[in-house]
Structure formats: C-alpha cells, structure tokens
Structure 1
Amino acid sequence: MARVSVRGRRRPLRRGRRRFDQGFWIRVAAVAVAVVLAGAIVVAVRYSGAGLSGVSSGQSSGLSATGPLAPDFTGIVDWENSAPLTMDSLRGKVVLVDFWTYSCINCQRTFPFLRQWWDRYQADGLVIVGVHSPEFTFEKDVGNVRRAVKDYGIGWPVAVDSNMATWNAFSNQYWPAEYLIDAGGHVRHTNFGEGDYDATERDIQTLLAASGHKITGPLATGDPGITADASSETPETYVGSDRGDGSVAFQGAWSQQPEYEQLTAVGAPGSDIASLPYKARRVYMVAAPAAGPVTVHVTIDGRDLLPAQAGSSVHVDAAGRSTVVVDHDDLYSLVSLPGFSEHLLQLSPEQPGFRLYTFTFGS
C-alpha cells in the first residue's frame, strides 16, 4: 500500500497502497547496498515516477497554472452508475478521477470525503469518476466490484479497469490517488494516499469558480490528519511468495501461492494458526474462501477479543468466543482498540480453504 511517502507539512506521513513492482524493489535494494557500503545513512526513499508529471500535488499549496491533458479512460471492462464516459464528453466539467481498489482500507477511508463532495458539488459541475484498478486477482471480477460499489454506497460513476489500462495511461502508482482535471481537460492537481482533503476541496472550488460556478460557504469536509502513532505502527504485511517477508508465522497445512497462503487441511482444534506480532490500534485483513464460508477464531495475546475490542467483522458469542466468517473476497475488520499498543494476533481457521492475503493497520 503505497506505504509511506515523506511530506513536509501538517502530518508526519501519508498512508496508501503502492502497486507492487518487483523490478523497482530490486533496484531499491541495489541502491541500499551501495549506500551501506559507502557508509552513508539512508534517510528516505520516495519513488519519483508516480503519476503524471507537471502538476501540483498535495505536497504543495495551490493549483498548477497549467497541466497535461488527462488521458482518456482506456480498456474499461464495465461502467457502474453511468453510461461509458470519455474525457471529451466531460469537457466543461471539473473532473476528479479517483483510483481505488475495493479491499484497500486506505481507499475506503476516502469514501466519506468523496461522498460529501459528490453531494455538494455535483449540481455545480463536478464529476467524480472512480477508476477501480485491482491489486489482487479477485478484484478483477466485475461481480465483486459491483457488490463493493453497492455495499459502500458509491453513487458516482465507476470505471472498472480490470486490466490496469487506465492506471497505466495515467502512469499511476498508488491507491488511493486523485487527479483533479479542469473544464478544459487538463490535470491541475494530484494527491496520492490519504489526507489533504481540505486542500483538495479548495482546489475543486477554485476550478468550479473558474468554470463559471459561484461557490460559497465553508468547506464540506475537515481533514482529521493522521495520528503521531501512525509513524510507528506495523506496516502492511503481505503473505504469499510474491511479497511475503516471513513476518507471519504459519502452523499447520498451509500452501503458499503467489498472492496468498491457503489452509489446505484442518488438524486438531486450534492447531492451524497464522500468527503476527503488531503495533496499532486497528487491524484488518484481506481474505477469501476457496469455496464455502470459513469460520476463523481470532485472538490477541492468546485471549478472545472482548466486544469492545472486536472489529466490525468479528462476532463475540455468548461464551465470549471471537470469530469472523470469511464468506467472500474482501477486507475484514478484526481488531479495534482504544489505545495504540503492541500485541500478538492469531488466526485459527476451523475449515480448510481459508485464503489470507495481507494484514493492514490503522491508528
């Protein structure tokens, strides 16, 4: 998840997903080795090739005076909430293109802000187009995307970019990513990752006013920022042969696949476990069933979750046992604690076919 992008104002970091690029990480590793051998200290690495060049981003104030023409929507396999759109058909409108993928918690946290902008400025000429570009294979399925659009109450047009053609046309690298386009079709502002909602809304207002609309009143949204604890929370942790780094320990009959680990057979009760030490307030997982629903026992520090500690996907029964039912490919909310702290999370599936993709965290 476009993990951390260092920025110079208001918050210590940005949160979002970044597309996995094996070649990029090989290059970064080579550079890091060279730096170590030279005795230098690496302070920060930021990928400079993300997104269209020549436009302002959330790291600077104000809009660019000009910008490149926005690429058209390319290779779209389905449209939700709209007939097919083109950039030419949207001339005269202010367009916010939002790249997202439905199992990304960083993307989900942007939905309330996008919804407020859609409700407030749609009548004044703002068009939001959500471009759903998948991170995992199951996110390419149009039925899954359609269900997510309904479940999350997304009312603006959604372009299903299952082959990443529009993503590549924009040279995008992040989930979420916003490209703000003026009435003439030029990209004037970009923002990668969570945050800068107030700045983005001010730029929406500026472009709407420039296109002849009278915008008055306070901003629809306030930017809550990111807590200081977020700088020390556990980073997103993948499993599978493509990106797994061994942080998650597996006990039992697990089969490693490129994107996930799958429990293939069930042993004695409680013997099939995925364990991860972490630091955060909230814990989420991306998971899926291979066939039918799978019940997963969820504990922290060897104990069941209390109702006040359980994420929204977890059920705590009358006996105090905390479980989550994984019945479709999605993001599941596991833990929600009042304070930032360190714990051991353990998952114990009760049926075979449980697929675990990644853990992500919130503070």
Structure 2
Amino acid sequence: MFRHRNDLPVEGVLPPFDGATTWLNSQPLAPVDLRSRVVLISFGTYTCINWIRSLPWIRAWADAYADHGLTVVGVQTPEFDFEGDLANVARAINEMDVRYPVAVDNDYALWQAFDNHYWPAVYFADAKGQIRHHHFGEGEYEQSEMVLQMLLREAGTEIEQGLMTIEPQGVEAAADWSSLGSPETYLGYGRAVGLASPEPVVPDDRQLYSAPAVLRRNHWSLSGDWRIGSVAVRLDQPDGSISYRFFARDLNLVMGPPATDTPVRFTVLLDGEPPGPAHGVDIDAHGNGTAE
C-alpha cells in the first residue's frame, strides 16, 4: 500500500491558513513559509479523546521528520465554547507537549476551507502544495507514516528509517476497541441520549433531579440541583452527582469549574467504591480530584 505515487492522487490544493484566529508556537504561516515542504495538517480540539489518542504519533512524526522536510501544523477548532479561550488552549497544548505550530480556528475558517467534518482529521500535502491523502478518525498510523515517507521521497529526501513503534501511555493509550461497549455521550439537551432521571428536563433552568434505583448500560442520571443547558450540565448546589453505567476500560468526562479562579473538588466512585489502582490521570486511588 502507498508504494507508488499513483497510489496518492491529487485531492486538491492546500488552502492558506490566513483564516486562523491566532497562532501558538509559531508566527502565522503563509504559503511561502511552506514552499517545498511536505505538510501534515492535524485537526483536533483539546478535550477530544479521539484526537488525544492520536497525538503520540503526530508529535513523533513532527520531531522525527522535521529535518527531512516535514512541517506539522495543528488546527485547534473548538467543539465547545470554552475551547475557544486562548488561555485554555495554550495551557492544554503545553501540558500535552505539543511543540509544533498550532493555528487557532475559533471562527471555523480553516475547518470550512478544508471542508472538514471530523476530530481528529489529518491531511497530507506534498512539496508542491497539493493535498494527496487524508484520514479521518483514529488509527491507520502505519499507513499515514508510509504516506509521509513517500511524499518526502518525492520531494527528494532520502528516508532510510523504518516505521515507528509507539506505545502510548495513560490517557493517550489506544481504546479497548475489541471490548468497548459504550459510546460517546453528551449531557446537554441538544444532543443528550440515555438520561434516566425520572424528573422532566427543564431546559436552561434549575431542577432537582434524582437517580433511579437501577441504571441500564449506557444510561446516566443526575442527582441534586442541576441546570441542563444545550451543551452541558451545571451543578448549582454542592453535593450533586452524575451516575453512568458503562462498559469499557476507560471513562473520560469533560468537566471544569464555573469560574477559572474557583477550583472544585470532586470524587469518582467505581461501582460505589474508590477506584484504587484503576484510577485515572486526574484522580487518586481514593477517587479524589480537583477541577481547575
């Protein structure tokens, strides 16, 4: 696969990046800055677990092939409003050790220029500024690296190294696809499914919710004084909880305090008990964590 240039037909022309809101890790990149360079464009948003799990390969390629003629450009297109906050983005990419240029795409200008619809998505442009390949979602990392090597060879670079072997750890570890039994779940009323609390939803206003005696798989409930908005739920009084019955190795929740200067402590229980060695990155073995 991808052994000959005919395997990679021209899909279009690399759009300029002049629609970016701002740039991180770099001055704004113009076509002249990318002339004669192979370019990998990586669309993502920093709370997207699918993009996070693809990041080890993007980082590794950016480091390994930079001196061979590759430029990696990240495009941060927010799914949620808070992901457009520049301070949040800057902190996230620093914590994730993203050192390549990142175009912040708050106005969706680059998303539209590429006619993109997915997080993550990668586009591969040759040294002539032509898009030659793309991939949507996770996976196919070997094929993607083969594309990079082929485009670099087309540009006149000798590539002798083999394909990389990467073993991501922690939150970046690949999903347990063979046994994964729970989907991505949204809590806001705009896209929510599976809410099992018996009380009627009061959109954008406070309501006391309760948990049912039994939760079915892939259903969730609220307990306490909550406000269900279009994209998120907000706890208006202490001591509320979210319950979710899932079937997977990992569970990830996008959450944060109502104000950046007000950390909120929380506790996670697994089947009613502290998670112990099964705890994740943001909590300890007792299930305690702080959102800040």
TM beyond 0.5: yes
- Report SS of the residue matched to 1:145: helix
Deviation at 1:220, TM superposition (A): 2.2
Instruction: Supply the RMSD in Å over aligned alpha carbons.
Output: 2.0
Shift of 1:222: 5.5
d(CA) in 2 for partners of 1:294, 1:184: 50
- Does the CA contact (< 8 Å) of 1:113 and 1:197 recur in 2? yes
Deviation sequence 1:183-207 (CA, Å, 0-9, x none): 1111101011111111111110111
Structure 1 partner of 2:101? 157
In structure 2, stretches of 5+ residues that fail to align are: 169-173, 196-218
Shift of 1:226: 6.1
Residue identity (%): 37
Structure 2 residue matching 1:221: 3-state secondary structure = coil
2:176–2:249 Cα contact (<8 Å) kept: no
Work out the CA distance in 2 between the residues paired with 1:146 and 1:124. Answer: 27
1:103 and 1:63 map into 2 onto residues whose CA distance is 34
Q: Deviations over 1:16-39 (max 9, x none)?
A: xxxxxxxxxxxxxxxxxxxxxxxx
1:233 corresponds to 2:201: no
Q: Corresponding residue for 1:262?
A: 234
Alignment of 1:162-181 (within 5 A): 162-181=106-125
User: Any conservation in 1 of the 2:19–2:109 contact (CA below 8 Å)?
Assistant: yes
Write out aligned runs for 1:296-315 (5 A).
Answer: 296-306=266-276, 308-315=277-284
In 1: Cα distance, 2:68 partner to 2:107 partner: 33
Match of 1:4 in 2: none
Give SS of 1:109's match.
helix
Maintained 8 Å contact 1:98/1:130: yes
Aligned-partner Cα distance in 1 for 2:26–2:245: 44
Whether 1:295 aligns to 2:265 is: yes
Give the Å deviation of 1:67: 2.3
Aligned to 1:274: 242
Q: Which secondary structure state, in structure 2, belongs to the residue aligned with residue 200 of structure 1?
A: helix
Q: Is the 8 A contact 1:298 1:322 kept in 2?
A: yes
Contact 1:180 1:189 in 2 (8 A): yes
Deviations 1:2-52 (A, max 9, x none): xxxxxxxxxxxxxxxxxxxxxxxxxxxxxxxxxxxxxxxxxxxxxxxxxxx
Q: Secondary structure at the match of 2:60?
A: helix
Q: How many angstroms apart in 2 are the aligned matches of 1:233 and 1:286?
A: 19
Q: CA deviation at 1:88?
A: 4.1
Distance 1:143 1:62 in 2: 44
Match of 1:199 in 2: 143
In the alignment, which of 152, 156, 162 is matched to residue 218 of structure 1? Answer: 162
State the one-letter code of the partner of 1:265.
Q
CA distance in 1, matches of 2:132, 2:88: 32
Q: Equivalents in 2 of 1:88, 1:238: separation in Å?
A: 42
Is residue 2:41 matched to residue 1:106? no
Cα separation, 2, equivalents of 1:63 and 1:290 = 50
Mapped to 2, the partners of 1:241 and 1:210 lie a distance apart of 50
- Gap runs ≥5 in structure 1: 1-55, 328-363
| Stretches of 4+ aligned residues off by more than 3 angstroms | 221-228
Q: Could you list the per-position Cα deviations for residues 67-112 of structure 1 after superposition, in whole angstroms to 9, with x for gaps in the alignment? A: 2112211421111111111234312100000001001111111121
Q: Alpha-carbon deviations, 1:250-308, whole Å to 9, x = none?
A: 111000111111110125xxxx22111100001111001002111112111111211x1
8 Å CA contact 1:120, 1:220 repeated in 2: no
Contact 1:131 1:161 in 2 (8 A): yes
Task: List per-residue Cα deviations over 1:195-224 (Å, max 9, x = no partner).
Answer: 111111111011101101111021123599
Query: Partners of 2:73 and 2:224 in 1: how far apart?
Result: 44
Quote the Cα distance in structure 2 between the aligned partners of 1:156 and 1:62.
30
The aligned counterpart of 1:190 is 134
Aligned to 2:203: none
**Could you say what secondary structure the match of 1:288 adopts?**
coil
* Residue aligning to 1:249: 221
